[in-house]
Amino acid sequence: MRSRRIERVIEDDMVDKAGWMYADLFLGLMVIFLATISFVPEIRDNSNANAGNRVSSNTIRQSTSFNFDKGLTIVINTPDVLLIETRIKSFLAGERLPLDSQIVFVKFIGGYDPINERVSDGATRALEFGLKLRADNPKLFANATNSADASPDIASGQVAVVLTFSSPLKK
């Protein structure tokens, strides 16, 4: 009996094109994203007529606040609200920020000794410190979001209080 010869049909191999297709799609998405964030006009309040404003609008007013670029970090041993309030006032005056600025984010970083303590000891210290400060002056941190962390770079028993300020909400 005669054996049949099986002919191989050469199919299109798309494996080498898949990488280029992925790269093209990624490039397209990147262009769309960059175009979206690059060409959004700044809409400012028209009460301060400035030649530098690109777009002005009387109907849309900026009603949000903005965060200041520079924050305040205080490393202390005991939760002393008076010391923190004094440091905040001197920081705001030194940076020429509005005195009615609000604290919008507080991060408590508890220090610990990596040889004798665990990370959880520093985190617990930071949490207790934050709760005590909030209890002593709830108005100071009324608009603030809290976070707690631990770091071996801070001495055991100390807590770093990192404050982020924001301008008051414009109405």
Position 62 scores a pLDDT of 42
Position 51 scores a pLDDT of 46
Name the pTM for this structure: 0.59
In angstroms and rounded to an integer, the radius of gyration of the C-alpha atoms of the chain is 29
C-alpha–C-alpha distance, residues 63 and 105, integer Å: 19
* Domain locations in the chain as residue ranges: 72-166
C-alpha–C-alpha distance, residues 67 and 165, integer Å: 6
In order along its 171 residues, the chain shows pLDDT tens digits of 677 777 777 777 777 777 788 888 888 888 888 777 765 555 444 455 444 444 443 333 444 555 566 788 889 888 888 898 899 899 888 888 888 888 888 899 999 999 998 988 888 998 998 889 888 888 888 888 888 889 899 888 899 998 888 877 665
CATH number of 72-166: 3.30.1180
Nearest of 48, 97, 47 to residue 71 by alpha carbon: 97
Helix (H, G, I), strand (E, B) or coil at 156: coil
Nearest of 17, 38, 170 to residue 100 by alpha carbon: 170
Are the CB atoms for 151 and 160 separated by under 8 Å?
A: yes
Q: How far is CA 48 from CA 44, 53, 56, 65, 151, in A?
A: 9, 9, 10, 18, 46
Position 21 scores a pLDDT of 84
What's the number of CA atoms in the CB half-sphere (13 Å) around residue 52?
Answer: 1
